[in-house]
Amino acid sequence: MKHVTKLIACATLVAVSAITAQAEEFRLGLITPPPHIWTKAAEAFGSELSEKSGGAHSVSVFPARQLGNEAEMLQQLQTGALDMAFMTVAEVSNRAPELGAFYAPYLANDIGHAGRILRSDTAKSLLEPLPGQVGVVGLGYGMAGLRQIVARGDVKSAEDLAGLKLRITPFTPILDFYNAVGAAPTPMPLPAVYDALANGQVDAIDMDAELIWVLKYYDHADTIVQSDHMMFPMVGLVSAKVWAGMSPEDRAMIGELMAKHVDSTIDSYVAKEAGWLEQIKGTGKTYIKVDASFFGDAIDEWNAAWSQKAASLDSLRTTASETE
């Protein structure tokens, strides 16, 4: 009997330590501030993972660049020092240029179309090389709104952008775009933008409607150009090192839940973008709505350069026309 009791005690200990060995507290980093849709989605992902794993797993979310800028977080993901991130595809495209094709000007006709492109098999296939190429596993796409321009002073045509110091997210496709426009693109991470526009360090910014409205980027501007010129995808990432150490069950659960929560941001932007734009219009700033013709030859120039840089451009264009 004593022997049986001992065996049961041993078996219990093994079972408990097996659960403990699997249990993880993951760290997830992003650059967006706490009220941002991406940050809320990251928190919802953490809550659902904790619930579905019976409390075994939890996710600590670090918003607002607490763990560094995106380039730094990508390095941490590569070494396994960081477990997860919701990151701009812009940053990942600096290491995986095929992803740069998403930024083809006017690839998407509107925000709903951008969402359909991101939910396509073509888009998903572009995540496949990431573990080998960048050291991260891409589990699915989210997005922010289409890109607009906010400027100090009057902007009536693209010529008015010539030579303006125009803040861009630091990545190559947008740099190429504004160089083609003739502006002076100034790479700058998100948290620096408000002050830079307020103190005149930049003359204009490239930004989406949510942040123009919620973070009041219109405060120190005179003109809002609703150009809708590019989509702005996000990707849910897990460190490939951390992923390799997970059980197949955990991979399945984390893969499904992270994809679900990054995808939920697409619905949020589709539902809310028009409302933000209306509110921005209501600020009394000069508001102009333009289309591709506003940018003249810059778009052809971008397309010519990027057809050499990203073979994926053709397949994404086909997908774009199939999902119109």
Please report how close the Cβ of residue 211 comes to ligand BEZ at its closest, in angstroms: 6
Does position 144 interact with ligand BEZ (CB under 6 A)? The reply is: yes
Q: Which residue's CB atom is positioned nearest to ligand BEZ? A: 169
- Which residue's entry shows tokens 């400027």? 151
Nearer CB in complex with ligand BEZ: 269/295: 269
Please report how close the Cβ of residue 296 comes to ligand BEZ at its closest, in angstroms: 24
Q: Are 137 and 131 in contact (CB under 8 A)?
A: yes
Query: Sheet of 232-239: strands edge to edge?
Result: 57-62, 24-29, 84-88, 232-239, 136-144
- Residue 3 vs residues 12, 13, 15, 17, 197: alpha-carbon distances, Å: 14, 15, 18, 21, 75
**Binding residues among 68-87 for ligand BEZ as defined by CB under 6 A:** none
How many whole angstroms from its chain centre is CA 148? 16
Q: Are 269 and 37 in contact (CB under 8 A)?
A: yes
Does position 88 interact with ligand BEZ (CB under 6 A)? The reply is: yes
Nearer CB in complex with ligand BEZ: 169/312: 169
Does position 239 interact with ligand BEZ (CB under 6 A)? The reply is: no
Q: Which residues pair with 235 in a beta bridge?
A: 87, 141
Size of the site for ligand BEZ (CB under 6 A): 9
Binding test (CB under 6 A) with ligand BEZ, winner from 207, 209, 235, 310: 207
Under 8 Å CB-to-CB from 199, ≥6 apart: which residues? Answer: none
Nearer CB in complex with ligand BEZ: 205/253: 205
Give the residues lining the site for ligand BEZ (CB under 6 A).
31-32, 88, 144, 169, 190, 207-208, 211
